Amino acid sequence: MRFFACTLFLVILAGFLGVLNLNGQNIPEQNQACLKCHTSQAHTIYNDWTEKEEKRLMNPFYILDTIQLAVGVHQVFSCIDCHSMDYETYPHDGQLKLEPMMTCIDCHGGDPTYEDWQFDRIEEEFQKSVHYELHGDQFSCSKCHSQHYYRATARTSSDLREIVDYSNKMCLSCHDNMTKYQLVSEDAKPQLVDIHNWLPNQELHFRRVRCIECHTEVQDSLMVSHNILRKEHATKNCVECHSANSMLQASLYKYQNLRVRTETGENSQKSILGLFTVKNTQEDFSNEYYVIGASRIPYLNTIFALIFFATLGGIVVHTIIRIIKK
């Protein structure tokens, strides 16, 4: 009974939120016209020839997700800021299919407002990547970043899992999806699971580290390295992550937004488990994330060494006395 009540409550809540979103808390008013068709499986059109209303199915690839739209970086845009005004009529003009769309760089490149995001450096890095090298301009930023939905997760999320998940889905949306993959390549896509078979706990790794951790070189000055290297240069070396000076410190774990949470909780951390706290803030923060082999407790190795040599010393002394007194 309680379960039922809870479920009911959740359903209602979800419906409510859905309505809120559909009503466009964040979505500009003028988009409603487009979204009326572009959010549902079926839409109604008025057929001038037969003079009847007719129901048609929507191309599933053209159905947009309003929830993601509402949280995306371009949430304030109306559709026709990017798309032609002519889309306001239906059927859409066939010529519109060929309308050139603006790229990220067209809008953001060289703009000091977005200096912080380093678009130009990202473009530079991206143009060195295998994707660009092999497929040129056909491989646009939008192949990874949807202009509708993109959310700067690494920069804003305080949940490591979410950052990893969001980023990996960008790669997997293509590398694990033949439909999208063939937009770029004629070849059959490689089987990711087989290729990464050498990696134990593969599933765990894919949930805890981003593909780009292994497939790019760490860029201290960039939030997200964009130079996807050829597979020969991908990291296969476990110790790059599984060690005290794990490279993850400089990539995945470096984000300020992750750190904020630790710093606010620092006091309680100190009082409860002072043993584990290091003065250095860099390390302080890293205690939240751990990989096997990253032994990061101060003095622990020293204590180990002391006990070890004391034991050994005891044994040696005892042996010597035994020999003498024999």
Q: Which residues lie near ligand HEM (CB under 6 A)?
A: 292-293, 295
Among 26, 67, 81, 278, binds ligand HEC (CB under 6 A): 81
- Residue closer to ligand HEM, measured from CB, 292 or 320: 292
Q: Name which of residues 265 to 304 contact other proteins (CB under 8 A).
A: 265-266, 268-269, 272-273, 276, 287-297, 300, 304
Q: Would you count residue 196 as binding other proteins (CB under 8 A)?
A: no
- Residue closer to ligand HEM, measured from CB, 292 or 310: 292
Q: Name which of residues 259 to 288 contact ligand HEC (CB under 6 A).
A: none
Report the 3 state secondary structure along the chain. Answer: CHHHHHHHHHHHHHHHHHHHHHCCCCCCHHHHHHHHHHCCCEEEEEECCCCEEEEEECCHHHCCCHHHHHHCCCCCCCHHHHCCHHHHCCCCCHHHHHCCCCCHHHHHCCCHHHHHHCHHHHHHHHHHCHHHHHHHHHCCHHHCCCCCCCCCHHHHCCCHHHHHHHHHHHHHHHHCCHHHHCCCCCCCCCCHHHHCCCCCCHHHHHHHCCHHHHHCCCCCCCCCCCCCCCHHHCCCCHHHCCCCCCHHHHCHHHCHHHHHHHHHCHHHHHHHCHHHCCCCHHHHHHCCCCCCCCCCCCCHHHHHHHHHHHHHHHHHHHHHHHHHHC
- Residue closer to ligand HEM, measured from CB, 183 or 292: 292
d(CA 97, CA 107): 21
Q: Would you count residue 163 as binding ligand HEC (CB under 6 A)?
A: yes
- Residue closer to ligand HEC, measured from CB, 83 or 278: 83
- Residue closer to other proteins, measured from CB, 43 or 296: 296
Q: Would you count residue 169 as binding ligand HEC (CB under 6 A)?
A: no
- Residue closer to ligand HEM, measured from CB, 47 or 295: 295
Among 192, 218, 278, 294, binds ligand HEC (CB under 6 A): 192
> 206-245 mask for ligand HEC (x: CB under 6 A)?
x-xx-xxxxx-------xx-x-x-xx--xxx-x-xxx---
Among 22, 184, 278, 294, binds ligand HEC (CB under 6 A): 184
Return the one option of other proteins, ligand HEC, ligand HEM, none that residue 67 interacts with (CB less than 5 to 8 A, by type): none
Q: Would you count residue 205 as binding ligand HEC (CB under 6 A)?
A: yes
